[in-house]
């Protein structure tokens, strides 16, 4: 679960994520040990947010998973709104159908009002405006599908690695 307290409470249950495996993953921003201003957050402590802009338009929210000095992260791609549906609708626009409120990385960030101001934020601190919350729900292994990642064709062999995890109930 992920909870955002920016201008009101919004809670999402994540049902689609992708893993990026650091310096050995050609699809990862830190492939080959790249360390730049943008990726600096990924080289930091686990449990922090890595937010970046793609295509000059959309934000993507990642969670640093290993660190420090192990730049691996999980991209949050989609989720289902558990709380704060009205707020999400207001942010996404009145003409957006419920089914497409949070079914993409950019949409998810918009729904939670996440922008690069959250880059480096601690997702585990109890008083953080944006945080990961474990509600105790455990998803059975057989209900999780492993699929190739999306939008990383340029990464060669790594683009076919089954690092995209989707819970079946949402498919």
Partner DNA sequence: TCTAGGATCGGCT
Partner DNA sequence: GCCGATCCTAGAT
Please report whether residue 118 would count as binding DNA according to CB under 7 A. Answer: no
Binding DNA (rule: CB under 7 A), the pick from 62, 79, 166, 167 is 62
Q: How far is the CB of 38 from DNA (least distance, A)?
A: 3
Q: Of the ranges 28-36, 83-91, 127-135, 161-169, which one interacts with DNA (CB under 7 A)?
A: 28-36
Please report whether residue 5 would count as binding DNA according to CB under 7 A. Answer: no
- Residue by residue, DSSP assigns 141-160 as GGGEEEEPPSS-GGGGGGGG
Residue 89 has φ and ψ, to the nearest 5°, of -60, -40
C-alpha–C-alpha distance, residues 39 and 34, integer Å = 8
Please report whether residue 151 would count as binding DNA according to CB under 7 A. Answer: yes
First to last CA, the chain: 18
Please report whether residue 63 would count as binding DNA according to CB under 7 A. Answer: no
Residues 6+ apart with CB under 8 A from 138: none
Contacts with DNA by CB under 7 A lie at: 18, 20, 27-29, 34, 36-39, 52-58, 60, 62, 73, 75, 92, 96, 100, 104-108, 116, 150-152, 154
């Amino acid at each position: 679960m992920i909870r955002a307290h920016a201008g009101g409470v919004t809670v999402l249950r994540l049902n689609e994520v992708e893993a990026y495996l650091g310096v050995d993953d050609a699809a990862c921003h830190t492939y080959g040990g790249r360390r730049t201003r943008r990726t600096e957050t990924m080289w930091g402590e686990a449990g922090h947010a890595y937010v970046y802009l793609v295509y000059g338009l959309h934000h993507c929210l990642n969670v640093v998973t290993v660190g420090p000095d192990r730049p691996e992260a999980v991209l949050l791609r989609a989720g289902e709104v558990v709380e704060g549906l009205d707020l999400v609708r207001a942010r996404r626009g009145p003409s957006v159908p419920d089914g497409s409120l949070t079914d993409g990385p950019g949409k998810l960030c918009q729904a939670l009002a996440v922008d690069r101001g959250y880059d480096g934020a601690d997702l585990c601190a109890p008083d953080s405006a944006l945080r990961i919350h474990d509600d105790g729900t455990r998803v059975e292994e057989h209900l999780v599908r492993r699929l190739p990642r999306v939008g990383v064709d340029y990464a060669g062999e790594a683009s076919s690695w089954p690092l995209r995890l989707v819970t079946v109930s949402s498919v």
